A and B are shown apart, each in its own frame.
Chain A
Amino acid sequence: MTWVAVLAGSAACYLLKLVGLSVPQRVLGNPRVRRIAMLLPVAVLAALVVIQTFTIGHRLVLDARAAGFVAAVIAVVFRAPFLVVVALACVTTALVRLWL
Protein backbone atom coordinates (compact mmCIF):
# COMPACT_ATOMS: atom_id res chain seq x y z
CA MET A 1 0.00 0.00 0.00
CA THR A 2 2.89 2.35 0.74
CA TRP A 3 4.16 1.94 -2.81
CA VAL A 4 0.71 2.82 -4.20
CA ALA A 5 0.73 6.06 -2.19
CA VAL A 6 4.31 6.84 -3.25
CA LEU A 7 3.64 6.29 -6.95
CA ALA A 8 0.16 7.85 -7.06
CA GLY A 9 1.31 10.91 -5.12
CA SER A 10 4.39 11.28 -7.33
CA ALA A 11 2.35 10.99 -10.51
CA ALA A 12 -0.08 13.64 -9.27
CA CYS A 13 2.73 16.01 -8.30
CA TYR A 14 4.50 15.58 -11.65
CA LEU A 15 1.31 16.14 -13.64
CA LEU A 16 0.64 19.36 -11.70
CA LYS A 17 4.09 20.64 -12.67
CA LEU A 18 3.62 19.67 -16.32
CA VAL A 19 0.13 21.18 -16.50
CA GLY A 20 1.48 24.52 -15.28
CA LEU A 21 4.06 24.62 -18.08
CA SER A 22 1.54 23.49 -20.72
CA VAL A 23 -1.82 25.20 -20.26
CA PRO A 24 -2.67 28.65 -21.62
CA GLN A 25 -2.26 31.48 -19.08
CA ARG A 26 -5.97 32.23 -18.78
CA VAL A 27 -6.88 28.73 -17.52
CA LEU A 28 -4.95 29.04 -14.26
CA GLY A 29 -4.73 32.83 -14.34
CA ASN A 30 -8.00 33.24 -12.46
CA PRO A 31 -7.19 35.27 -9.31
CA ARG A 32 -9.47 33.13 -7.16
CA VAL A 33 -7.70 29.93 -8.22
CA ARG A 34 -4.33 31.58 -7.57
CA ARG A 35 -5.30 32.77 -4.11
CA ILE A 36 -6.52 29.31 -3.17
CA ALA A 37 -3.36 27.65 -4.48
CA MET A 38 -1.14 29.98 -2.45
CA LEU A 39 -3.21 29.49 0.74
CA LEU A 40 -3.42 25.68 0.43
CA PRO A 41 0.16 25.04 1.63
CA VAL A 42 -0.43 27.31 4.64
CA ALA A 43 -3.57 25.42 5.73
CA VAL A 44 -2.15 21.97 5.01
CA LEU A 45 1.23 22.58 6.68
CA ALA A 46 -0.41 24.15 9.76
CA ALA A 47 -2.76 21.16 10.08
CA LEU A 48 0.16 18.73 9.72
CA VAL A 49 2.12 20.56 12.42
CA VAL A 50 -0.65 20.39 15.04
CA ILE A 51 -1.69 16.84 14.16
CA GLN A 52 1.83 15.46 14.36
CA THR A 53 2.51 17.41 17.56
CA PHE A 54 -0.71 17.12 19.56
CA THR A 55 -2.33 13.81 18.56
CA ILE A 56 -1.70 10.06 18.81
CA GLY A 57 -4.11 8.09 16.66
CA HIS A 58 -7.51 9.61 17.35
CA ARG A 59 -6.61 11.13 20.73
CA LEU A 60 -5.47 14.68 21.51
CA VAL A 61 -2.37 14.57 23.73
CA LEU A 62 0.16 16.95 25.22
CA ASP A 63 3.58 15.30 25.46
CA ALA A 64 7.29 15.91 24.86
CA ARG A 65 6.68 16.72 21.19
CA ALA A 66 5.03 20.00 22.25
CA ALA A 67 8.38 21.12 23.68
CA GLY A 68 10.01 20.25 20.34
CA PHE A 69 7.40 22.32 18.54
CA VAL A 70 8.05 25.32 20.79
CA ALA A 71 11.81 24.93 20.18
CA ALA A 72 11.20 24.85 16.42
CA VAL A 73 9.09 28.02 16.54
CA ILE A 74 11.74 29.84 18.57
CA ALA A 75 14.47 28.69 16.16
CA VAL A 76 12.43 29.90 13.17
CA VAL A 77 11.80 33.27 14.83
CA PHE A 78 15.57 33.66 15.17
CA ARG A 79 15.98 32.66 11.50
CA ALA A 80 17.95 29.50 12.23
CA PRO A 81 18.86 27.36 9.20
CA PHE A 82 16.53 24.48 8.36
CA LEU A 83 18.67 21.71 9.82
CA VAL A 84 19.16 23.63 13.06
CA VAL A 85 15.39 24.03 13.43
CA VAL A 86 14.84 20.30 12.98
CA ALA A 87 17.79 19.28 15.19
CA LEU A 88 16.74 21.61 18.04
CA ALA A 89 13.21 20.20 17.96
CA CYS A 90 14.51 16.62 18.11
CA VAL A 91 17.00 17.29 20.92
CA THR A 92 14.44 19.23 22.97
CA THR A 93 11.85 16.47 22.57
CA ALA A 94 14.38 13.79 23.51
CA LEU A 95 15.55 15.69 26.61
CA VAL A 96 12.02 16.45 27.83
CA ARG A 97 11.17 12.79 27.32
CA LEU A 98 14.14 11.82 29.51
CA TRP A 99 13.05 14.16 32.31
CA LEU A 100 9.32 13.33 32.26
Chain B
Amino acid sequence: MTYDRGDRSPADQPRFPQRGAPERRAVLRVALAIGATTGAYGLSFGAIGIASGLSLWQTCALSLLMFSGGSQFALVGILGSGGGVVAASGTAALLGSRNAFYGLRLAELLQLRGVARVAGAQLVIDESTAVATTQPTVPAGRLGFWATGLSVFVLWNLGTVIGAAGAGLISDPAVLGFDAAAPAAFVALLAPRMRGRQPWAVALTASVVALAAVPYVPAGVPVLLAALVAILAGWRRRPDDASADEPDGQPA
Protein backbone atom coordinates (compact mmCIF):
# COMPACT_ATOMS: atom_id res chain seq x y z
CA MET B 1 0.00 0.00 0.00
CA THR B 2 1.26 3.41 -0.81
CA TYR B 3 -0.70 5.70 1.47
CA ASP B 4 2.45 6.62 3.33
CA ARG B 5 3.35 8.58 0.21
CA GLY B 6 1.26 11.59 1.28
CA ASP B 7 0.98 13.37 4.62
CA ARG B 8 -2.61 12.45 5.37
CA SER B 9 -3.64 9.20 7.07
CA PRO B 10 -6.29 7.03 5.34
CA ALA B 11 -8.94 8.29 7.77
CA ASP B 12 -8.58 11.91 6.51
CA GLN B 13 -8.87 11.18 2.80
CA PRO B 14 -11.98 11.10 0.61
CA ARG B 15 -13.72 7.73 0.70
CA PHE B 16 -13.59 7.02 -3.05
CA PRO B 17 -12.03 8.71 -6.11
CA GLN B 18 -14.18 11.53 -7.44
CA ARG B 19 -16.59 10.99 -10.29
CA GLY B 20 -14.81 11.29 -13.63
CA ALA B 21 -11.35 10.76 -12.13
CA PRO B 22 -9.27 8.58 -14.49
CA GLU B 23 -8.22 6.29 -11.63
CA ARG B 24 -11.89 5.58 -10.96
CA ARG B 25 -12.47 4.14 -14.42
CA ALA B 26 -9.21 2.21 -14.34
CA VAL B 27 -10.10 0.55 -11.03
CA LEU B 28 -13.62 -0.33 -12.15
CA ARG B 29 -12.29 -1.86 -15.37
CA VAL B 30 -9.86 -4.08 -13.44
CA ALA B 31 -12.62 -5.10 -11.02
CA LEU B 32 -14.94 -6.18 -13.83
CA ALA B 33 -12.22 -8.09 -15.66
CA ILE B 34 -11.29 -10.00 -12.52
CA GLY B 35 -14.95 -10.69 -11.78
CA ALA B 36 -15.43 -12.14 -15.27
CA THR B 37 -12.41 -14.41 -14.89
CA THR B 38 -13.51 -15.73 -11.52
CA GLY B 39 -17.05 -16.15 -12.87
CA ALA B 40 -15.66 -18.62 -15.39
CA TYR B 41 -13.86 -20.32 -12.56
CA GLY B 42 -17.17 -20.41 -10.64
CA LEU B 43 -18.57 -22.51 -13.49
CA SER B 44 -16.01 -25.20 -12.76
CA PHE B 45 -16.66 -24.98 -9.03
CA GLY B 46 -20.38 -25.53 -9.60
CA ALA B 47 -19.70 -28.54 -11.80
CA ILE B 48 -17.16 -30.03 -9.36
CA GLY B 49 -19.56 -29.53 -6.43
CA ILE B 50 -22.21 -31.64 -8.17
CA ALA B 51 -19.63 -34.22 -9.32
CA SER B 52 -18.49 -34.52 -5.68
CA GLY B 53 -22.00 -35.48 -4.59
CA LEU B 54 -23.28 -32.18 -3.19
CA SER B 55 -26.76 -30.95 -4.09
CA LEU B 56 -27.35 -27.81 -6.15
CA TRP B 57 -28.36 -25.94 -2.98
CA GLN B 58 -25.33 -27.08 -1.02
CA THR B 59 -23.00 -26.09 -3.85
CA CYS B 60 -24.62 -22.65 -4.18
CA ALA B 61 -24.67 -22.15 -0.39
CA LEU B 62 -20.90 -22.61 -0.35
CA SER B 63 -20.35 -19.88 -2.93
CA LEU B 64 -22.68 -17.50 -1.08
CA LEU B 65 -21.59 -18.21 2.49
CA MET B 66 -18.02 -19.48 2.32
CA PHE B 67 -17.01 -17.35 -0.69
CA SER B 68 -13.36 -18.34 -0.84
CA GLY B 69 -12.42 -20.48 -3.84
CA GLY B 70 -9.64 -22.60 -2.37
CA SER B 71 -11.66 -23.43 0.76
CA GLN B 72 -14.72 -24.35 -1.30
CA PHE B 73 -12.81 -26.67 -3.65
CA ALA B 74 -11.13 -28.31 -0.66
CA LEU B 75 -14.41 -28.87 1.18
CA VAL B 76 -16.19 -30.50 -1.76
CA GLY B 77 -13.07 -32.51 -2.64
CA ILE B 78 -12.77 -33.97 0.85
CA LEU B 79 -16.50 -34.69 1.16
CA GLY B 80 -16.42 -36.25 -2.31
CA SER B 81 -13.59 -38.61 -1.34
CA GLY B 82 -15.42 -39.78 1.77
CA GLY B 83 -13.96 -37.37 4.35
CA GLY B 84 -15.87 -36.44 7.50
CA VAL B 85 -17.33 -33.13 8.64
CA VAL B 86 -14.35 -32.18 10.82
CA ALA B 87 -11.74 -32.91 8.14
CA ALA B 88 -13.74 -31.10 5.44
CA SER B 89 -14.63 -27.97 7.37
CA GLY B 90 -11.25 -27.95 9.16
CA THR B 91 -9.35 -27.98 5.88
CA ALA B 92 -11.59 -25.23 4.49
CA ALA B 93 -10.79 -23.14 7.57
CA LEU B 94 -7.05 -23.80 7.23
CA LEU B 95 -7.14 -22.59 3.65
CA GLY B 96 -9.26 -19.60 4.70
CA SER B 97 -6.83 -18.53 7.41
CA ARG B 98 -4.91 -16.40 4.92
CA ASN B 99 -7.97 -14.16 4.62
CA ALA B 100 -7.48 -13.13 8.25
CA PHE B 101 -4.08 -11.75 7.26
CA TYR B 102 -5.54 -10.00 4.26
CA GLY B 103 -8.07 -8.37 6.62
CA LEU B 104 -5.25 -7.21 8.82
CA ARG B 105 -3.61 -5.48 5.87
CA LEU B 106 -6.90 -3.97 4.70
CA ALA B 107 -8.16 -2.71 8.08
CA GLU B 108 -6.26 0.58 8.06
CA LEU B 109 -7.06 1.29 4.42
CA LEU B 110 -10.78 0.53 4.63
CA GLN B 111 -11.57 2.00 8.08
CA LEU B 112 -14.75 -0.07 8.38
CA ARG B 113 -17.16 0.19 11.29
CA GLY B 114 -20.39 -1.59 12.26
CA VAL B 115 -22.52 -2.96 9.42
CA ALA B 116 -19.95 -1.99 6.78
CA ARG B 117 -17.36 -4.12 8.53
CA VAL B 118 -19.72 -7.10 8.90
CA ALA B 119 -20.59 -6.91 5.18
CA GLY B 120 -17.10 -6.00 3.98
CA ALA B 121 -15.54 -8.95 5.82
CA GLN B 122 -17.24 -11.41 3.46
CA LEU B 123 -15.49 -9.70 0.52
CA VAL B 124 -11.98 -10.12 1.99
CA ILE B 125 -10.49 -12.58 -0.54
CA ASP B 126 -7.37 -12.94 -2.69
CA GLU B 127 -8.68 -10.82 -5.57
CA SER B 128 -10.12 -7.87 -3.62
CA THR B 129 -6.98 -7.68 -1.47
CA ALA B 130 -4.69 -7.77 -4.48
CA VAL B 131 -6.52 -4.91 -6.22
CA ALA B 132 -7.00 -2.81 -3.06
CA THR B 133 -3.36 -2.98 -2.00
CA THR B 134 -1.89 -2.17 -5.41
CA GLN B 135 -3.68 1.14 -6.14
CA PRO B 136 -1.75 4.42 -6.23
CA THR B 137 -4.04 6.28 -3.79
CA VAL B 138 -6.14 5.49 -0.70
CA PRO B 139 -9.52 6.33 -2.33
CA ALA B 140 -8.65 4.16 -5.36
CA GLY B 141 -7.62 1.34 -3.01
CA ARG B 142 -10.96 1.47 -1.22
CA LEU B 143 -12.89 1.55 -4.46
CA GLY B 144 -10.74 -1.35 -5.68
CA PHE B 145 -11.68 -3.41 -2.64
CA TRP B 146 -15.44 -2.88 -2.91
CA ALA B 147 -15.67 -3.00 -6.71
CA THR B 148 -13.54 -6.14 -7.03
CA GLY B 149 -15.16 -7.86 -4.05
CA LEU B 150 -18.70 -7.20 -5.32
CA SER B 151 -17.93 -8.01 -8.93
CA VAL B 152 -16.31 -11.32 -7.96
CA PHE B 153 -19.14 -12.09 -5.50
CA VAL B 154 -21.88 -11.62 -8.09
CA LEU B 155 -20.14 -13.38 -10.98
CA TRP B 156 -18.69 -16.20 -8.86
CA ASN B 157 -22.16 -17.03 -7.53
CA LEU B 158 -23.70 -16.74 -10.98
CA GLY B 159 -21.00 -19.04 -12.40
CA THR B 160 -21.62 -21.54 -9.59
CA VAL B 161 -25.36 -21.77 -10.29
CA ILE B 162 -24.83 -22.26 -14.02
CA GLY B 163 -22.01 -24.79 -13.55
CA ALA B 164 -23.95 -26.78 -10.96
CA ALA B 165 -27.16 -26.80 -13.02
CA GLY B 166 -25.21 -27.85 -16.13
CA ALA B 167 -23.33 -30.64 -14.35
CA GLY B 168 -26.60 -31.97 -12.95
CA LEU B 169 -27.55 -32.90 -16.53
CA ILE B 170 -24.51 -35.17 -16.94
CA SER B 171 -25.13 -38.74 -15.78
CA ASP B 172 -21.56 -40.06 -15.31
CA PRO B 173 -18.97 -37.35 -14.52
CA ALA B 174 -16.02 -39.81 -14.71
CA VAL B 175 -16.63 -40.39 -18.45
CA LEU B 176 -15.84 -36.72 -19.07
CA GLY B 177 -12.82 -36.81 -16.78
CA PHE B 178 -14.51 -34.55 -14.23
CA ASP B 179 -12.68 -36.30 -11.42
CA ALA B 180 -9.50 -34.65 -12.73
CA ALA B 181 -11.07 -31.17 -12.54
CA ALA B 182 -10.53 -30.51 -8.83
CA PRO B 183 -6.83 -31.46 -8.74
CA ALA B 184 -6.29 -29.36 -11.88
CA ALA B 185 -8.01 -26.44 -10.14
CA PHE B 186 -5.68 -26.89 -7.17
CA VAL B 187 -2.63 -26.92 -9.45
CA ALA B 188 -3.79 -23.60 -10.92
CA LEU B 189 -4.38 -22.14 -7.43
CA LEU B 190 -0.98 -23.35 -6.29
CA ALA B 191 1.04 -21.97 -9.22
CA PRO B 192 1.23 -18.28 -8.17
CA ARG B 193 2.39 -19.31 -4.67
CA MET B 194 5.37 -21.34 -5.90
CA ARG B 195 7.95 -18.55 -5.94
CA GLY B 196 11.23 -19.36 -4.20
CA ARG B 197 12.63 -22.55 -2.75
CA GLN B 198 10.60 -22.82 0.45
CA PRO B 199 7.14 -23.26 -1.16
CA TRP B 200 8.53 -26.09 -3.29
CA ALA B 201 10.06 -27.82 -0.29
CA VAL B 202 6.81 -27.44 1.66
CA ALA B 203 4.65 -28.64 -1.26
CA LEU B 204 6.79 -31.72 -1.94
CA THR B 205 7.09 -32.68 1.72
CA ALA B 206 3.38 -32.15 2.29
CA SER B 207 2.58 -34.36 -0.73
CA VAL B 208 4.78 -37.18 0.53
CA VAL B 209 3.34 -36.94 4.07
CA ALA B 210 -0.23 -36.96 2.74
CA LEU B 211 0.28 -39.95 0.44
CA ALA B 212 2.15 -41.88 3.13
CA ALA B 213 -0.73 -41.32 5.56
CA VAL B 214 -3.58 -42.26 3.19
CA PRO B 215 -3.56 -46.03 3.87
CA TYR B 216 -3.55 -45.63 7.65
CA VAL B 217 -5.77 -42.73 8.72
CA PRO B 218 -9.42 -41.70 8.02
CA ALA B 219 -10.17 -39.77 4.79
CA GLY B 220 -9.40 -36.06 5.10
CA VAL B 221 -6.85 -36.50 7.88
CA PRO B 222 -3.85 -36.77 5.50
CA VAL B 223 -4.52 -33.16 4.45
CA LEU B 224 -4.47 -32.01 8.05
CA LEU B 225 -1.17 -33.86 8.59
CA ALA B 226 0.19 -32.11 5.51
CA ALA B 227 -0.77 -28.79 7.11
CA LEU B 228 1.61 -29.63 9.95
CA VAL B 229 4.44 -29.46 7.41
CA ALA B 230 3.57 -25.80 6.79
CA ILE B 231 3.46 -25.09 10.51
CA LEU B 232 6.87 -26.69 11.09
CA ALA B 233 8.41 -24.92 8.07
CA GLY B 234 6.96 -21.55 9.07
CA TRP B 235 7.99 -21.96 12.70
CA ARG B 236 11.69 -22.00 11.86
CA ARG B 237 13.10 -18.68 10.78
CA ARG B 238 15.38 -19.15 7.81
CA PRO B 239 18.60 -17.13 7.55
CA ASP B 240 17.66 -15.80 4.08
CA ASP B 241 14.29 -14.70 5.38
CA ALA B 242 14.61 -10.93 5.29
CA SER B 243 11.97 -10.35 2.63
CA ALA B 244 9.89 -13.50 3.03
CA ASP B 245 7.68 -12.13 5.78
CA GLU B 246 6.52 -9.25 3.65
CA PRO B 247 6.24 -10.56 0.10
CA ASP B 248 5.13 -7.22 -1.28
CA GLY B 249 7.27 -4.91 0.78
CA GLN B 250 4.50 -4.00 3.21
CA PRO B 251 5.24 -2.49 6.58
CA ALA B 252 4.08 -4.95 9.25
- Best-surrounded residue of B82, B110, B122, B234 (most CB of chain A within 10 A): B234
Q: Is the CB of B65 within 8 A of A6?
A: yes
A:40-85 near B, CB below 8 Å = 40-55, 57-60, 64-65, 68-69, 71-73, 75-76, 81-83, 85
User: A15-57 toward B: CB 8 Å interface, digit per residue (1/0)?
Assistant: 0111111110100110110111111111111111111111101
Q: Is the CB of B183 within 8 A of A13?
A: no
Give the complex CA separation of A14 and B5 in angstroms.
32
Report the interface size class on chain A. Answer: 35 or more
Q: Is B56 part of the binding interface, using a Cβ–Cβ cutoff of 8 Å?
A: no
Q: Is the CB of B199 within 8 A of A93?
A: no
Q: Is B97 part of the binding interface, using a Cβ–Cβ cutoff of 8 Å?
A: yes
- Residues of A near B185 (CB, < 8 A) are 82, 85-86
Q: Is the CB of A21 within 8 A of B121?
A: yes
- Residues of B near A95 (CB, < 8 A) are 177
Other-chain contact of A85, B188, B203, B230 (Cβ < 8 Å): B188
Q: Is the CB of B99 within 8 A of A13?
A: yes
Q: Given A8-B89, A9-B66, A93-B180, A46–B226 Cβ distance below 8 Å?
A: yes
Give the complex CA separation of A68 and B218 in angstroms.
26
Give the complex CA separation of A59 and B222 in angstroms.
13
Q: Is the CB of A65 within 8 A of B234?
A: no
Q: Is the CB of B231 within 8 A of A73?
A: no
Give the complex CA separation of A91 and B180 in angstroms.
9
Report the interface size class on chain B. Answer: 35 or more
Q: Is the CB of B85 within 8 A of A54?
A: no
- Residues of B near A51 (CB, < 8 A) are 81, 210-211, 214, 222-223
Give the complex CA separation of A9 and B220 in angstroms.
14
Q: Is B204 part of the binding interface, using a Cβ–Cβ cutoff of 8 Å?
A: yes
The smallest C-beta distance from B121 to any residue of chain A, in angstroms, reads 4
Q: Which B residues lie at the A interface, using CB under 8 A? A: 37, 40-41, 43-44, 53-55, 58, 61-62, 65-68, 70-71, 73-75, 77-79, 81-82, 84-85, 88-89, 91-104, 106-107, 110, 112, 117-118, 120-122, 124, 174-191, 193-194, 198-199, 202-207, 209-211, 214-216, 219, 222-223, 225-227, 229-231, 233-235, 237, 244-245, 247, 252
- 22 inter-chain pairs at a CB distance below 8 angstroms, sorted by A residue, are A4-B89, A5-B79, A5-B85, A7-B61, A18-B121, A21-B117, A35-B234, A38-B98, A39-B199, A40-B227, A41-B95, A45-B186, A45-B189, A46-B206, A50-B210, A51-B214, A65-B183, A68-B184, A72-B187, A83-B40, A92-B180, A97-B174
- New A-B contacts (4) at CB < 8 Å, excluding given A46-B203, A92-B177: A8-B89, A20-B107, A47-B226, A86-B184
Query: Which 5 A-B pairs give the minimum distances between C-beta atoms?
Result: A20-B103, A68-B180, A93-B177, A89-B184, A47-B226
